[in-house]
A and B are shown apart, each in its own frame.
Chain A
Amino acid sequence: MEILPKMPKSWNPASKPHKFCPGCGHGLVLKALGQAIDELGIQDRLVFGCDIGCSLLAWDFFNVDTVQTHHGRTTPVMVGIKRARPELVTVAYMGDGGGYAIGSQHLVNAATRNDIITCILVNNTNYAMTGGQMAPTTIPGQKTETTPYGRDVAEAGYPMLGPEMVATISHEGAYVARGSVAKFRQLKGYLKKALENQMAGRGFSFIEALSTCPTNWRTNAEQTWAFVEETMPKYFPLGELKFPGGKEE
């Protein structure tokens, strides 16, 4: 008898199998988020916003009220929802381009205003939906379509350290962490705490999730896993950077 792994209850079975590429990390991040939603019992009051880029493919991923916005603009839409209806739990789901480049002003200002929302940013070191260009998170030397000879830091700068920046500018009550799809249980714990932090009304919550993009990395399964598990954490260290509710062990 074949036993399929259990889908989170908050997933929308009608949209499965999901629309992401084989080997993409989005499915794992959204599985961890789905489990966190189930455990917290907030499917009825969660509003999920997804950005442009691969994250938009999550527009019907959950059986929760969902709005797909514009590139970089998911954070303000979720801020607007939360300000109008504070009893709702809002999640802004975006990629590294949306959060750190075109929408960075929204991330910075939501963090400094201590907006009671949860931002989840998927870092796969490139603009994937548009065909693999350099992202704010592309690591030095990494080849992309717009850095075909590798990211030259003298010309193209260094990778953006998002959680470190958010931890610095945010206030007491903020929860900031960086997880990875390579450490699923830890990532799920972070996501759950980020939602709990919002539900407790403590402050802004921000999770960066290191993720995979074999399509644009042009890597096989082994290389993909090695990149996310070994290479990426050298530039993007995992862990909690701010934790009003207590540190995750």
Chain B
Amino acid sequence: MNGEKPIEGERKVFMTGNEVVAWGALAAGAEIMYGYPITPQNEIMHYWARLGPKFGKRFLQTEDELSAGFTTIGGVLTGKRAFTATAGPGNVLMQEPLSMAEAMRIPTVVVIQQRGGPSTATVIYSQQEVTLTCFGGNGEGLRVVYATASHQELFDYTIKAFNTAWRYRFPAFILGDGYQAKMRESLVIYDPAARGIEMISPEPLVGKTGVPGTDREAAHLRNAFSVEEELLHALGDDIEEYERVAPEIIEYDAFNTTEADLLVVAHGVVFRSVAMAVRELVNQGERVGYFRPITLRPFPGTQLREAAQGAEQLLVVESAYGQLNKLVLENLYGSNVPVRTLFRPGVGITPEEVNEECRALLAGKEA
């Protein structure tokens, strides 16, 4: 089976989000996964460990998430598409290796299936790992974070994350959650080539051919510097490049923004409730729209400001206590549009709740 494509053409399937991620990584040509068990991401490893050997793929179960992150870095350094997946407290530990990946421009791919926090909390669902995933580690958040809202997106963006990471050499994340991880949904899985998606070829950063010092220069990769200016020089270049490529990476979705008195902002699976509620309200003649950042890093700030221009008020909806809202406020600085919030940290939000909140705000009452 080695060398055979995991998916020929395309196929309609009905599966859990974790299974989707495993298939997405297979379709993307990932070669090795490193991982440590934590709910709700476990089945990504389960499916990868089962499916992988059929296609010559490898898996290593590590001793913790520190090791899962650092072994992933090792795999990436050799020029292989390597990835890992985690959640919650595992995401906390994962930030140490990922700050190294960020510092050294190592194109790691990490799938985060958010669970409730702080601490161990619940193994079910939340949107409380936004700040951690976007800005974790002792760094500047030079990373790409895709917040998916459906199983189709989990598949699409798993493939895209490998390409983004290897094209731009910034760590790439899929930010899912326990609901997306565990529920079943129908989607189309496909061979990227069948859709005209060209996979960026990885290249080795160590273990290149030839004798170092004779045939080529040795790779001397480091993240420690002796003096401040040295760091500023290296980091300054990275920041400049991140800012330069950000417009190419940024993705968002918006609806009815020019006709909206009330603009609702949400990301991830909560966005689905928002989309459903907003479309229903619009069908009933209400002046509502939505804005959804798909990339939380880099954030579509300019696009949000444009979308918010005609609105009388904004409503930020999230299953966290203001982690998305911080990003929204930062990017709206200087605008005087009032920002209302619907925060449900660690619990799901239904279209009915969004609908009710919108109606109250449109009627001039704060819910």
Residues in A lying within 8 Å of B, measured CB to CB:
10, 12, 43-45, 47, 52, 56, 59-60, 62-70, 73, 76-85, 88, 105-106, 108-109
Q: Which of B56-94 contact A (CB under 8 A)?
A: 58, 60, 62-64, 66-67, 70-75, 77-80, 82
Q: List 30 A-B contacts (CB under 8 A).
A: A12-B213, A12-B220, A44-B209, A44-B210, A44-B211, A44-B212, A47-B206, A56-B224, A60-B220, A60-B222, A64-B218, A66-B218, A68-B224, A70-B70, A73-B96, A73-B97, A73-B100, A76-B71, A79-B71, A80-B71, A80-B74, A81-B78, A83-B32, A83-B60, A84-B74, A84-B75, A84-B80, A84-B82, A88-B207, A108-B63
Closest Cβ of chain A: how far from B241's Cβ, in Å? 21
Cβ-defined contact, B75 with A66, below 8 A:
no
- In the assembled complex, the Cα of A12 lies from the Cα of B80 at a distance in Å of 27
Contacts of B220 in A (CB 8 A): 12, 59-60, 66
Query: Number of B interface residues, CB 8 Å?
Result: 42
Known A66-B220, A76-B70; judge A84-B213 contact (CB<8 A). no
Contact partners of A83 in chain B: CB under 8 A: 32, 34, 58, 60, 71, 74-75
B239 within 8 A of A: no
Chain A residues positioned under 8 Å from B224 (CB to CB): 52, 56, 59, 68
Q: Which listed residue (A64, A81, A109) contacts B212, Cβ 8 A?
A: A64
Whether B207 contacts A45 by the Cβ 8 Å rule is: yes
With A76-B62, A84-B80 already in contact, the answer to whether A69 and B100 are too (CB < 8 A) is: yes
Distance A69 CA – B66 CA, assembled complex (angstroms)? 12
For B213, give the chain A residue with the smallest CB separation. Answer: A63
Task: Tell me how far the C-beta of B211 lies from the nearest C-beta in chain A, rounded to whole angstroms.
Answer: 4
Bound together, the chains give a CA A68 to CA B70 distance in angstroms of 12
CB–CB B63/A105 < 8 A? yes
State the majority secondary structure of interface residues on A.
mixed
Contact partner of B77 (CB less than 8 A), chosen from A63, A64, A77, is A77
Q: A70-B97, A83-B75 in contact; A77/B70 too (CB < 8 A)?
A: yes
Contact B218 A59 (CB under 8 A): no
Query: A47 — which chain B residues lie within 8 A by C-beta?
Result: 77, 206-207
B96 touches A80 (CB 8 A): no
- Point out the residues of chain A lying under 8 angstroms from B207, CB to CB: 45, 47, 65, 81, 85, 88
Contacting pair B77 A67 (CB below 8 A): yes
Q: Is B363 an interface residue (CB 8 A)?
A: no
Instruction: Please report the C-alpha to C-alpha distance between residue A70 and residue B221 in the assembled complex, in whole angstroms.
Output: 12
Q: In the complex, what's the smallest C-beta–C-beta distance from B185 to chain A, in angstroms?
A: 32
CA distance A66 to B213 in the complex (A): 13
User: A106 to B63, Cβ gap below 8 A?
Assistant: yes
Residue of A whose beta carbon sits closest to that of B63: A109
A-B CB proximity, top 3 nearest: A80-B74, A63-B213, A80-B71
Q: A12-B213, A43-B212, A84-B58 given as contacts; is B80 within 8 A of A70 (CB)?
A: no
CB–CB A59/B78 < 8 A = no
Contacts of A70 in B (CB 8 A): 70, 96-97, 100, 223
**With the chains together, A147 CA to B355 CA distance in Å?**
64
Find chain B residues with CB under 8 A from A73 CB: 66-67, 70, 96-97, 100
A10 surroundings in chain B (CB, below 8 A): 213
Residue of B nearest to A19 (CB): B226
**Nearest B residue to A43, CB-CB:** B211
Q: Closest residue of chain A to B62, judged by CB?
A: A76
Question: Contact between B63 and A77 (Cβ–Cβ < 8 Å)?
Answer: no
Contact B74 A77 (CB under 8 A): yes
Q: Which residues does chain B contribute within 8 Å of A60, judged by CB atoms?
A: 218, 220, 222
For window 292-313 of chain B, which residues contact chain A by CB distance below 8 Å? none
When the two chains form the complex, which single residue of A12, A67, A106 contacts B206, counting CB atoms closer than 8 Å? A67
The complex places the Cα of A242 from the Cα of B204 at a distance, in Å, of 34
Which residues of A are found within 8 Å of B222, using beta-carbon distances? 56, 59-60, 67-68
Q: Which residue of A lies closest to B60 (CB)?
A: A83
The reply to whether B74 and A76 contact each other, CB–CB distance below 8 Å, is yes
Measured CB to CB, the closest approach of chain B to A181, in angstroms, equals 24
The complex places the Cα of A62 from the Cα of B217 at a distance, in Å, of 11
Asked if B194 CB lies within 8 Å of chain A CBs, one says no
| B234 within 8 A of partner (CB) | no
Distance, CA A82 to CA B64, complexed state (A): 18
Closest to B212 in A: A63
A72 to B201, CA, bound (A): 31
| CB-nearest residue of chain B to A90 | B74
Which residues of chain A are within 8 angstroms of B31 by Cβ–Cβ distance? 84
**Residue from A47, A77, A105 with most neighbouring chain B CB atoms (10 Å):** A77
A-side contacts of B70, CB under 8 Å = 69-70, 73, 76-77, 80
Interface presence of B208 (CB below 8 A): yes
Give the complex CA separation of A66 and B221 in angstroms.
6
